[in-house]
Amino acid sequence: MDTIYITGHRNPDTDSIVAAMAYAALKNALGERQYQAARLGQISDETQAVLERFGFEPPKLISDLRTQVRDRDYDTPTTLSAGANISLGWQAMMADQISALPVANEDGTLFGMLSAGDVANYDLQSVYNPVVGKLPIYNLLSVLEGKILNAGGELRDTISGEVIIAMPACRENLMSYPKESIVICGEQHDVIRRALEENISCVVVCQAQVPQELLDMDSETCLISTPYDAYRASRLIWHAMPIGSICKRRDLVCFHLDDYIDSVKETVLKSRFRAYPILDENERVVGSLSRFHLLRPRRKRVVLVDHNERAQSVIGLDQAEILEIVDHHRLADIETKHPIYVRNEPVGSTNTIIAGMYQEKGLMPTEKMAGLMAAAIVSDTVMFKSPTCTQRDIDVANRMARIAKISLDELGQAIFSASCSDDKTVDALLHTDYKEFHIAGHNLAVSQITCMDSDRILKRKDEFLQAMELIRQRKSMNVVALMITDVLLEGTQLLYVGDQDAIEQAFNIKNGDGCAFLPKIMSRKKQFIPTLSALWG
């Protein structure tokens, strides 16, 4: 829960991935070690090539920031085995101030749940049915702080029978004790002798000495001494029984660390348990959850880079705590509960902003990180040909290239050559850099492929249009568009489905029939979306 995720948008491009990595590296280098770069989708061939070139692994993939069981301050009481005695279970509940605790098998998996109610119910039943069955000797000796006095007792592993306190004035009842009995007495040698002669299951001698002649008798009776008085010894015998004999094992409701709190609450409302065992991915017990824990909000924490629009962000963002936003897009619809740090600058790449933050903090990125950031700037500014590109982008990219000792021209050619492999499916290409927008009551999706040979991609035009129409119908979009941005032609081959009239009117297209070339249109953010916004606004 201490981890703060830094993440870009869904269907991340190179700028989004590198921005998360570079900002996490900056934060951690300044001593804030809990920051971790993350991604919301599969990385593109272009990004993979960039990461491999500079020796980086892709960031951790996360798909949801909804609050999970692992995000709560759940109880982590001592988890006892089914063989532990009831006394230990009660003491554990009292020490942790909880009303129930999990009981585990030897391998750590769930055996059952022991509650204070189970102990109380068992204790009351013992008054009306004072019979103990198969009580392990080790358990009994532990709770009584007892010691076996005779050789016959050493041969027993368990004892059973009715618990009887032998009263000093009732000598006539000696003959009435059943053989399966646990007799509690004091310094009553006649009681002890008769019990040994009849091979009664067990005799517990309280606060008294036993003559050697009785200890030497040949008997199967287990003779135990204890420092406790008769009343306390009688109650402790019941508490010596294994937890497994009274804990609840059937119809248990348990949760896993990865379960979402929303579904947990629904389940809890339908049940009446006070506590629920929590299991890890290997089904091992790690703690317990009570209704109280569901009332205490604790959210995952996140920093957003390269976006500030809810539709482009991670699922469950409304349940997360947003700490910062670093972006270069238009301001959108994300709301926060508290004031946060926001840095939004009109430049061509988020990494241009982050490089400036390195400088402000007096920290130079490593050679490999500088190369990664240079690649991201080149990618997002389309080799400085995008209208979003500023002189600052160019200056920062050149500085990063000098630190990394690389050529920007060679880097750009490598980046855009790797972006659209022929062996990728149309659907995969469409979702490589895919974003959804909501503008003035209109829903649209715009995908962008940046390349150096748009004619090769256009050979699959009919496949693209068919896949785009399926997306439009499935998601009820007004428009689905694909920008095939050609670096060499300095323009975009546009494919579009849906409200074709709106597209053709916005970009002055004549007889487009779902396909047109838009010269000088290179940017989705600064040219394509603003033009449609002006039309629909």
pLDDT per residue over 66-83, tens digit each?
Answer: 888 888 888 888 889 999
Q: What are phi and psi of 522, to 5 degrees?
A: -125, -20
Whole-number percent of the chain with pLDDT over 90: 61
Q: Tell me, what's the pLDDT at 256?
A: 94
Beta-carbon contacts of residue 217 (< 8 Å; ≥ 6 apart): 150, 193, 196, 197
Q: What is the pLDDT of residue 303?
A: 96
The pLDDT of residue 172 is above 70:
no
The tens digit of pLDDT for each residue in 443-493 reads: 999 999 988 888 889 999 999 999 999 999 999 999 999 999 998 888 999
Taking the CA of residue 477 as centre, how many other CA atoms within 13 Å lie in the half-sphere pointing to its CB? 22
Q: Which of 275, 281, 279 is nearest to 294 (CA)?
A: 275
Each residue of 230-285: pLDDT tens digit? 999 999 999 999 999 999 999 899 999 999 988 898 898 888 888 899 999 999 99
Integer Cα distance of 53 and 66 in angstroms: 34
Nearest to 46 by CA among 455, 316, 479, 432: 432
The whole-chain average pLDDT of the chain stands at 90
Choosing among 3.30.420.40, 3.30.420.340, 3.10.310.20, 1.20.1440.120, the CATH entry for 426-536 is 3.10.310.20
Query: For residue 174, what pLDDT band results from cuts at 50, 70 and 90?
Result: low
The answer to whether 449 and 484 are in contact (CB under 8 A) is: yes
Say if CB 328 and CB 78 are below 8 A apart: no
Residue 512 has what pLDDT? 75
Domain residue extents for the chain: 4-67+300-417, 426-536
Give 333 or 23, the one with higher predicted confidence: 23
The phi-psi region of residue 482 (left if phi > 0; otherwise alpha if psi is between -120 and 50; otherwise beta) is beta
What pTM did the predictor assign?
0.66
Provide the 10 A C-beta neighbour count for residue 39: 25
| pLDDT at residue number 477 | 94
- Give domain 4-67+300-417's CATH number out of 3.90.1640.10, 3.30.1330.10, 3.30.70.20, 2.40.50.140: 3.90.1640.10
Residue 205, pLDDT above cutoff 90: yes
At residue 175 the predicted structure's pLDDT band, cuts being 50, 70 and 90, is low
Q: Which of 379, 351, 348 is nearest to 365 (CA)?
A: 351
